[in-house]
Amino acid sequence: MPKSSLTLSSSVRYLKGVGPRKEKLLNSLGIHSVADLIFITPRTWENRRISKDFLGAQIEHRAFAVRILNTKEESRAHGRFVVFQAEAACDHPQAPRLSLLWIRRRSRFDVFGKLRLEIRPGAAVFIWGKIEPPRAGSAGNPEVSIEDYEILHQGLWPAGSPHWNRLAPVYSSTTGLAQRELRRWRFEALDLWRQARVWSWPQELRPLLPQGVNNAAWAYEKIHFPETLDEKSRARRSLAFWEMTLLGLAMEQRRQKLMAIKKNWPLTEAGSGSALFNRLLLGLGFSLTESQRRAIDEILQDMGRLNPMNRLLQGEVGSGKTLVALAALCHAVSAGYQCAFVAPTEILVFQHAMNFRRLLEPLGIRVGSLTSDTPAKEREEILEELAGGALLVVVGTHSLLEPEVSFQRLALIVIDEQHRFGVDQRSMLRRKTVTPDCLVLTATPIPRTLALALYGDLDVTTMEELPLGRTLAKIHLARSEQEAWTALQECLALGQQAFVVVPAIEDEDQGDNLTKVLIRLRQMLPGISIASVHGRMSGRDKEEALLTFHRAQAQVLAATTVIEVGIDVPRAAVMIVLSAERFGLATLHQLRGRVGRGESRGLCVLVPSSEALNHSRGPEGELLFTNGSIFQNGIASESIMRLRRFSGCRNGFDVGLLDLELRGPGDLLGKEQHGNFSIRHFDWSGDQDLIAPARGMAQAILSRDPSLGCEPALRHAVELRYGTNYAMNELS
């Protein structure tokens, strides 16, 4: 392809120096088109400016321009390494002479062939490497271990080099792709980028930009090759604002779509609903918390409106969200409408169904439950009753989303533990009936400003309070499995119950699994009754196992994460999670919430797999875990760091934020979004001040141009991130 016809959407294979092999490697980094080179921004920057700044006492990376005086080669460390050494003149005041070292492992090949040709007396060279500061009183020259160099031809400084005398970007890479190449291709891509002139804010909206925020076009250029560190941080903030505005555009369009919809049955007559709920409360033996009362008020108001409710109810594990949802359910049911309660796992469906039956059947309300395990005949009956309107309340898993499930007059959908459900599922359910109210429950709440930005199409209620006297279980990050077993034995000795959770059922891999742990537990705990439950058991067997544990006929329940959410066993005091690094943070938080629901405070012991622990050993093989506070001086593996940060979380808010920071908002906007493409530059803790202005910008843009018809570039940018159907056009 001639260079002139190369565009931002061309494949990278048309770039100079990219053959089939490098194309594959680039693809593996997520780089397919020339534009991807721009969107994938540097991991860090090296300050390769030649400066005469003072050399400190620390070893540091520096760039110098030097002239070679003489060279020699030698062996070191018992001949395992070979060193190419050059003495060079430099015009740094503290280092007029430098000793340059290229150190390589000895090899059959001549590793210094090229150096010998290039690094010759008289050559002018740029160098980048680690300098050992000059030692006071030492006669030797300061030494520099060279990491990159370039010969200056005719002694000329190359103007505008992507590599030298500047802040040089460093990209995530893979074996076979050099930073030099990655930089050079960016340079070419940025030429096209400048010509394309995309992504500038319309002139009259520029006053809405927060201080220091600039166009995305400018920011994408400067984030790769900033002139100064300050410019780099302004570029990053600008991109953070840009991302939040795109998210705002997607959310706002979606919200407006939803607002325009009228629902079929506004439930205005609140009277009978509260009467029914009050009767339910009478049977409970406790009163609502203030938070619960407020949440119920908000929800009932929503249900009385003409447009459908889209509300997120955030509240700590154990804050009693189910009861709030039951209030909404009573409201719908007493007016003769249907209600679907969707839960992420079969076990939770089973538990909710059991609970709801206990509470609702005495009031004359039948409760159906539907999972993939429901026997065919029973399923048939339930489907018929739902379609005919004879059954008002159904609890189920994803199977409620299947096309053959239809309702006669579905007025309310409750989705428990939202982190398992993306927007896609929500809209799928909505399509089932005309437009029911929708209530989403989550135990990993996030701050209101963030929630508004991320779930802009939802209203948010937050319950801060836990029922009286309850606290979240303590977390202990264990250094060995033994610590967990000790805790387990202490708990059993007190007559309490415990969970042991593992990531797998059988030996799918080397790690902890249910089969192994059951053998272990039976050996360790003779005379203790142990139940077990996992996803491949039939529904009946699962129920049986859970009931055994519920009735305290078993002291230990060993399980896979089928018990993740919602299991409520008051006497369970200890939760042990093996191979803990293999669980998501929201899952771990749920597990933590499973224990200590009775009188005593629970304990949640996280045991990393031996593999993860092995990755956290210091240079001498010592475990970088001391005195309960780990990694005082070592680098722990990323997975353990994640657990460590999790164990510092005081509540669901902390977990919600940490999860956002580590994982991004995931599939909040549906499956089309790839990876974490939408939010890369936004800093979850430091950029919250950008959220409101970004929403303002999005609203201003849409008020001029509701479907972005006149802003094709912006529309394209939103679609690039959130998929072509981000505005839920399927609803129109």
List residues binding ligand ADP (CB under 6 A).
Answer: 286, 288-289, 292, 315, 317-323, 443, 467, 566, 568, 593
Spatial distance between the Cα atoms of 646 and 654, rounded to a whole number of angstroms: 8
**Smallest distance from Mg ion to CB 416, Å:** 6
315 binds, among Mg ion, ligand ADP, none (CB under 5 to 8 A by kind): ligand ADP
* Residue facing Mg ion at closest CB distance: 566
Q: Are 381 and 401 in contact (CB under 8 A)?
A: no
**Helix (H) or strand (E) segment spanning residue 97:** strand 95-105
391 binds, among Mg ion, ligand ADP, none (CB under 5 to 8 A by kind): none
Task: Return the SS3 of 149.
Answer: strand
Q: What angle do CA 49, 54, 56 make, to 5 degrees?
A: 105
Considering beta carbons, is residue 570 or 712 the nearer one to ligand ADP? Answer: 570
**Smallest distance from ligand ADP to CB 321, Å:** 3
* Residue facing ligand ADP at closest CB distance: 320
Considering beta carbons, is residue 115 or 353 the nearer one to ligand ADP? Answer: 353
Binding Mg ion (rule: CB under 5 A), the pick from 447, 566, 608, 664 is 566
Considering beta carbons, is residue 288 or 446 the nearer one to ligand ADP? Answer: 288
Q: Are 349 and 562 in contact (CB under 8 A)?
A: no
Considering beta carbons, is residue 566 or 670 the nearer one to Mg ion? Answer: 566
92 binds, among ligand ADP, Mg ion, none (CB under 5 to 8 A by kind): none
- Is 447 one of the binding residues for Mg ion (CB under 5 A)? no
**Smallest distance from Mg ion to CB 322, Å:** 5
Q: Are 504 and 560 in contact (CB under 8 A)?
A: yes
Mode of pairing for the β-strands spanning 95-105 and 143-151: parallel
Residue that has been written with the tokens 């092999």 in this structure? 21
**Smallest distance from Mg ion to CB 35, Å:** 43
Spatial distance between the Cα atoms of 40 and 611, rounded to a whole number of angstroms: 31
Considering beta carbons, is residue 568 or 711 the nearer one to ligand ADP? Answer: 568
Q: Tell me the window of 75-83, 152-160, 546-554, 563-571 that interacts with Mg ion (CB under 5 A).
A: 563-571
**Smallest distance from ligand ADP to CB 496, Å:** 17
Considering beta carbons, is residue 490 or 568 the nearer one to ligand ADP? Answer: 568
Which token pair is 281? 């409360």
Nearest to 397 by CA among 374, 367, 380: 374
**Smallest distance from ligand ADP to CB 616, Å:** 32
**Smallest distance from Mg ion to CB 386, Å:** 23
First and final CA of the chain: distance in angstroms?
Answer: 43
Considering beta carbons, is residue 44 or 471 the nearer one to Mg ion? Answer: 471
Which token pair is 118? 């290039």
318 binds, among Mg ion, ligand ADP, none (CB under 5 to 8 A by kind): ligand ADP
Considering beta carbons, is residue 396 or 566 the nearer one to Mg ion? Answer: 566
Considering beta carbons, is residue 186 or 321 the nearer one to ligand ADP? Answer: 321
**Smallest distance from ligand ADP to CB 660, Å:** 20
**Smallest distance from ligand ADP to CB 415, Å:** 12
Task: Return the SS3 of 45.
Answer: strand
**Smallest distance from ligand ADP to CB 591, Å:** 12
Considering beta carbons, is residue 590 or 678 the nearer one to Mg ion? Answer: 590
289 binds, among Mg ion, ligand ADP, none (CB under 5 to 8 A by kind): ligand ADP
Bridge partner residues of 86 (DSSP)? 71, 100
Q: Are 463 and 319 in contact (CB under 8 A)?
A: yes
Considering beta carbons, is residue 199 or 341 the nearer one to ligand ADP? Answer: 341
Give one DSSP letter per residue of 263-331, joined into a string: -S-----HHHHHHHHHHHHHTTSS---HHHHHHHHHHHHHHHSSSPPEEEEEE-TTS-HHHHHHHHHHH
319 binds, among ligand ADP, Mg ion, none (CB under 5 to 8 A by kind): ligand ADP
Dihedral, CA of residue 173, residue 174, residue 177 and residue 183, to nearest 10: 0
Site size with Mg ion, rule: CB under 5 A = 1
169 binds, among ligand ADP, Mg ion, none (CB under 5 to 8 A by kind): none
**Smallest distance from ligand ADP to CB 416, Å:** 7
Within positions 488 to 517, which residues make up the interface with Mg ion, using CB under 5 A?
none
Considering beta carbons, is residue 142 or 566 the nearer one to Mg ion? Answer: 566
288 binds, among ligand ADP, Mg ion, none (CB under 5 to 8 A by kind): ligand ADP
Q: Are 308 and 459 in contact (CB under 8 A)?
A: no
681 binds, among Mg ion, ligand ADP, none (CB under 5 to 8 A by kind): none
**Smallest distance from Mg ion to CB 41, Å:** 39
Q: What are phi and psi of 106, to 5 degrees?
A: -65, 145
**Smallest distance from ligand ADP to CB 592, Å:** 11
In SS3 terms, 365-408 reads as: CCEEEECCCCCHHHHHHHHHHHHHCCCCEEEECHHHHCCCCCCC
317 binds, among Mg ion, ligand ADP, none (CB under 5 to 8 A by kind): ligand ADP
Considering beta carbons, is residue 456 or 602 the nearer one to ligand ADP? Answer: 602
- According to DSSP H, which parts of 420-480 are helical? 423-432, 448-454
**Helix (H) or strand (E) segment spanning residue 103:** strand 95-105
Spatial distance between the Cα atoms of 402 and 314, rounded to a whole number of angstroms: 27
CA distances for 205 relative to 192, 590, 694, 729, angstroms: 26, 44, 12, 27
Q: Given the rule CB under 5 A, which residues bind Mg ion?
A: 566
